[in-house]
Amino acid sequence: MIDFPLSRLEPEAESVYAALGLKPGARPSPRSGELLLRALDSFRRLAEPRGLVLPQTEEEFAAVFHGQGRNETRNPLQRVHPLAARLHLFAFTLGETISAEIERLFAGDFALGAVLDAVASLAADNAGRVAEEWAGSPATASGGSRGAHVAFLYSPGYCGWHISGQEALFAALRPEVIGIRLNASFLMTPLKSISGVLVAGPPAIHRVESVYPFCAQCKSPACRERVSAVPPT
Ligand code: SF4
């Protein structure tokens, strides 16, 4: 099971300021600094990180990935997952309490709410990185799948994997046991939750190029970060 210590989830100040729109190198105002300290204090008090993983055979994941059959015809995960050494369904949440506090602040103290929202979103992203490290670690491997592996998280709603894929993912993983629910639009509650499949394998399998028709609308080209993150083969 994966451990998610708050110290590994808490985002760096620079990342929070960048998420809030501060230009690189610009000095945050004293007011921004004070809001960040208060938001980080709330994060440490209110975050309740919980995660869940479930190993998948290639056949099991192929069925989950097919879901309702609404994926883009050509998509990166369709090419990557059959090459994986290990596959794990994954879900993580920061819990109800911090999400409720963000909603409460947005209604009465918008500035602090916006900073706490950014802190929590970045913390959820960091949880994905912790899970990727876990999935890529030799300690997670068994039998013949040991080797120099790198893992990345692929999620429904991104890269041609239709958001309705959440339905099959939830049916297999059952993240309700850690408090995550799915609504009719396939969005998760609590809001600060993430889900997907951890794909571990030789670094080269993750060399995805942004050549798909839907890449023109992509606002967060994670494939480029991944290419630069994997060691050369
Ligand atoms: S550009 Fe975006 S949608 Fe296209 S492969 Fe990269 S991450 Fe996926």
Q: Residue 31's domain is classified under what CATH number?
A: 3.40.109.40
Q: How confident is the model at residue 142 (pLDDT cuts 50, 70, 90)?
A: low
Does 27 fall in a domain? yes
CA 153 to chain centre: 6
Does 199 fall in a domain? yes
| Number of domain units in the chain | 1
Reported as a single tens digit per residue, the pLDDT across 105-128 is 999 999 999 999 999 999 999 999
Q: Which of 213, 191, 30 is nearest to 99 (CA)?
A: 191
Domain that holds residue 22: 6-229
Residue with CA nearest ligand 1 atom 7:
221
User: The whole model's pTM is what?
Assistant: 0.93
Residue with CA nearest ligand 1 atom 8:
159
Q: How confident is the model at residue 232 (pLDDT cuts 50, 70, 90)?
A: low
Reported as a single tens digit per residue, the pLDDT across 163-195 is 999 999 999 999 999 999 999 999 999 999 999
Q: What integer is the mean pLDDT of 42-53?
A: 98
d(CA 229, CA 223): 10
Q: Is 215 in the pocket of ligand 1 (CB under 6 A)?
A: yes
Q: What integer is the mean pLDDT of 10-36?
A: 95
Does 45 fall in a domain? yes
Does 1 fall in a domain? no
Q: Is 214 in the pocket of ligand 1 (CB under 6 A)?
A: yes
Structure token pair of residue 43: 């994060």
**Helix or strand holding residue 229 (H, E):** helix 222-229
